[in-house]
Every structure is written in structure tokens, then in C-alpha cells.
Amino acid sequence: MEHSFSMGRFVITVLPGDGIGPEVTAEALRVLEAVGHRFGHQFEFHEALVGGAAIDATGSPLPPETLDRCRRSDAILLGAVGGPKWDDPAAPVRPEQGLLGLRKAFDLFANLRPVRAFSPLLHATPLKAGIVQGVDILFVRELTGGLYFGPRQEAGPDGEEAYDTMRYTRAEIERVVRLAARLAQGRRKKLTSVDKANVLAASRLWRRVTEAVVRREFPDLALEHILVDAFAMHLIRRPAVFDVVVTENMFGDILTDEAAVLAGSMGMLPSASLGEAPPGLFEPVHGSAPDIAGRDLANPIGAILSGALMLRYGFGLEAEARAIEQAVEAVLEAGYRTQDIADGEARVVGTKEMGEAIAQYIRSEA
């Protein structure tokens, strides 16, 4: 299809999902509407079902109508999926299958997770402020290969054996490394590749291919290779030295959750899942948090910053993305906090008030 932003408008499929998903997504839309008003853009939102809500309504975590709606969109904004109601890992239909289905349908091979330590939140991390100060890391995680998608066996004939296979091809590695390298060129020109090449054959291939791609196509970058166990230690001891980090699927999954402590809360972290062409999928890193759903307690900043990533990587609107990020920082500087990032001096607010404060800042700067 010809994507609509080439004609001056942006069509976004909104998938609120489960738990706190609808609450945080609503605030992300509020902020995007403020951006549209300030910069003169037309954002057209279409809501659809995914995850547990879709199972309850249709029996499928990714109904055909939702997939069709996404195909006719320029970007997809998702809240969260899952919850105790559907929390049986042996069930044939599970909410998470909706998310995996979206990744597969649009070949979303790269997951971008920026981790930034906002100055007003240095108190919220268990690490010393001096260690966290200045942290601004962009993780690029390969999303459609590796251990999570390789050949597997749930259990042998006697139920005592199971295996998963970490499998990668040169082409899979090349495309995600190439994307990470392009992003590094626009930042500090430093790329860190994380692997386990001293043990895993798949990691040795990863290292060889990464080295070849960067040396051949991106000679201006400083490339370093770090073993995953050493990187996990460095991420806590000296995180500010890293810029763009590229790694395979499982390592990226674990390391980016670890990195959440640098930002002070999982509620602060956005993500973007990208393929070769639109639509990309943009969602906060946190889960559905059913224990606080519907109570106006959730931190909407991860979802709001996911909207900023959508503007930057989905639509190429850098100034608009920066406007959201600046608004988030300004509101934090003004002392607004949701419960997960609160301190003794904070003005503790709910989901809606935090979203409105950020939107109002954007409107006031017009």
C-alpha cells in the first residue's frame, strides 16, 4: 500500500490490550494529539483488539480484523497483553500469541529499546547517582531468530528431556547489525556487540558477521565485542560508556530488563519493533500489571515515549519526537511523579494527571 504519511496524514492502529494497557495508551494518544496540534499534523487513530481482550471477544489473540487494520496503517501503538485470567502456559490460545503474530506478520526483526537516565530520577535507581548520570543507551535486539524461534522439543518420550536451539543465519545477523550501525552513525559513532562467542557457535557466527558488516560498510564506527556475562557486569558498574548495543534475541531480552534499573522503573521504558517497511510496532516495555489496572496508578511515560519513537522511527519526525522527550523531562523536573518513581519531595499524581501535564507542556510551547 501507499502509506498515508506521504500524503500529509498518519494512520495509527491502536491496540490497548489488557491490564493497564488501555490506561497508558490513552495518555500516549493525548500527548500525540497535542503534538499534532502544535506541529500541524493529522493523526488518525483506529482502535482494535489484541491479547486477552481479543480472546474474550473473538476467541483469537490476533483477530483477522485487527491484522487487516494494522496492514492498512502507518504504525501500530500497543499497550500491553496478558493477565492472570489467561495465565496458563499450557493453554492452546494465549494473549502473547497476538504480539508474536504481529512480529511475524510484519517481519519486525529489530527491537529498539532506549534506556535514558533522566536527571530528576537518579534517586529512583538502586545504583549510585554518579554511576547512572549521563546514561543514554540504545539497545538493538534481534527479534525474530535465535533461541526463541529455533528448533525445539518440549519433552522426550519419557518427559525427561527438552531442548531449544539457538539458530542464526548470516542474513538475519547482517540486517539487524546494519540497522544498529546506521543508528550509531547518528549518535556517538560507537557500537557494542554482545555475544557468547567463547562458548556458542551461533555467537561466533554473530561476531564474524558483525565484524565484516561494520568494517566493510561502516568504517567510521568504533566497534567493540563484549561477552554477555561481562557486559551484564559493566552495565551496572559503568553504564554511561555505552551508546548503541546490538545483540541477539535472548540476550537482548534479559539485558534490557536489567537495564530498567538505570531508568528508575520499567514504567519509563519505551520500545520500537521495526521491519524493512512500515508499519512498525511501538509499545512500552512494561507488562499489563493487572494488580494496578483501572486504579489510575500506572506510569504512562513508557507509552508516551513509545509515541515519540513512533514519530522518530516510524514517520521521520525528529523535532516532534524531541518535543515529547523534552516535555517528559520538564514535567519530571517540575516534580510530577507516579507511584513507581516517587520520592519524599514528589508531587505524586495518577496516570491521567501525568499524561495531561506532559500534553499541556507540549501545547504551551506552541
List residues with catalytic annotation: 148, 196, 229, 253, 257
β-partners of residue 171 are: none
CB neighbours (10 Å) of residue 182?
A: 14
Q: Apex CA 264: angle with CA 187 and CA 243, to 5°?
A: 15
Contact 250, 147 (CB under 8 A): yes
In angstroms, the CA 301 to CA 167 distance is: 35
Q: What is the 3-state secondary structure (H, E, C) of 128-176?
A: CHHHHCCCEEEEEEECCCHHHCCCEECCCCCCCCCEECCCCCHHHHHHH
In angstroms, the CA 242 to CA 235 distance is: 8
In angstroms, the CA 274 to CA 281 distance is: 7
Q: Which residue is associated with the grid cell 545504583? A: 127
Contacts of 107 (CB under 8 A, 6+ apart): 144, 275, 276
| Sheet containing 75-80: order of strands | 42-47, 9-17, 75-80, 280-284, 270-274, 110-116, 136-142, 244-247, 190-195, 222-227
Q: Which three cell numbers stand for residue 178?
A: 546494519
Instruction: Considering only CA atoms, give the Rg of the chain.
Output: 20
In angstroms, the CA 162 to CA 43 distance is: 48
Q: Which residue is associated with the grid cell 558488516? A: 213
Query: What proportions of the chain, in percent to the nearest 5, are helix, strand and coil?
Result: 50, 20, 35
